[in-house]
């Protein structure tokens, strides 16, 4: 494999890592929004609002960086192949984490609201929507890092760094 192609594949992996960080930041936005339904204290609500706004801005910056990364660092003539091929460890891990997050989200939708209603039946529908989106994005983001770490160590060129 020539050096330029290796650099392009490595940049694609870095692009996927940054995309996963963006998903985790979006999950924090939804978690802070869902947590607002549990507190009446103005100070805590203000802190949650600050957390939500800060992570939303960081998520937008991270998403913009992800788009810039794709356009700037991945070679143009290889961009489509590198971002869509299933040969990449990062793409395989991202695909598996998306499938896992959707499966867990469906499981959560089937059983989560019933369990939560037993403890607090007065929660609004918006809480469940925010909680479901939090579960989806958090599971996808964190499972990517777990799966990418596992598949990265399976790479024959992995040096243990």
Question: Is residue 160 assigned to a domain?
Answer: no
Measured in degrees and rounded to the nearest 5, phi and psi for residue 159 equal -105, 5
Rounding to the nearest 10 degrees, give the CA dihedral for residues 25, 58, 32, 93.
0
- Cβ–Cβ < 8 Å for 15, 74: yes
pTM of the model: 0.76
Neighbours of 23 (CB within 10 A): 24
What per-residue confidence (pLDDT) applies to 116? 83
Average pLDDT per block of 10 residues along the chain, 161 residues long: 54 80 94 90 94 95 82 68 67 84 90 83 88 93 83 50 46
Q: Which helix (H) or strand (E) holds 148?
A: helix 125-154
Residue whose pair of structure tokens reads 């995309």 in the numeric block: 19
What per-residue confidence (pLDDT) applies to 92? 78
- Cβ–Cβ < 8 Å for 78, 10: no
What per-residue confidence (pLDDT) applies to 3? 46
Separation between Cα atoms, residue 25 and residue 8, nearest integer Å? 26
What per-residue confidence (pLDDT) applies to 16? 80
Number of domains in the chain: 1
Question: Is residue 161 assigned to a domain?
Answer: no
What per-residue confidence (pLDDT) applies to 150? 58
Write out the two tokens for 140: 């996808």
Chain Cα centroid distance, residue 26: 7
- Cβ–Cβ < 8 Å for 123, 37: yes
Candidates 131, 149, 108; CA nearest to 20 is 149
Separation between Cα atoms, residue 95 and residue 101, nearest integer Å? 10
What per-residue confidence (pLDDT) applies to 6? 46
What per-residue confidence (pLDDT) applies to 84? 64
Question: Is residue 26 assigned to a domain?
Answer: yes
Parent domain of 35? 3-154
What per-residue confidence (pLDDT) applies to 146? 87
């Amino acid at each position: 494999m020539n050096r330029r192609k290796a650099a392009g594949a490595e940049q694609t992996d870095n692009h996927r890592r940054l995309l996963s960080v963006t998903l985790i930041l979006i999950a924090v936005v939804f978690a802070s929004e869902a947590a607002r339904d549990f507190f009446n204290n103005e100070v805590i609500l203000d802190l949650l609002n600050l957390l939500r706004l800060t992570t939303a801005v960081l998520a937008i910056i991270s998403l913009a960086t992800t788009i810039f990364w794709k356009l700037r660092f991945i070679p143009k003539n290889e961009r489509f192949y590198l971002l869509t091929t299933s040969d990449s460890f990062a793409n395989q891990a991202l695909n598996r984490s998306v499938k896992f997050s959707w499966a867990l989200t469906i499981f959560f939708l089937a059983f989560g609201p019933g369990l939560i209603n037993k403890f607090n039946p007065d929660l609004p529908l918006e809480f469940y929507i925010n909680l479901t989106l939090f579960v989806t994005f958090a599971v996808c983001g964190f499972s990517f890092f777990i799966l990418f770490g596992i598949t990265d160590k399976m790479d024959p060129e992995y040096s243990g760094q």
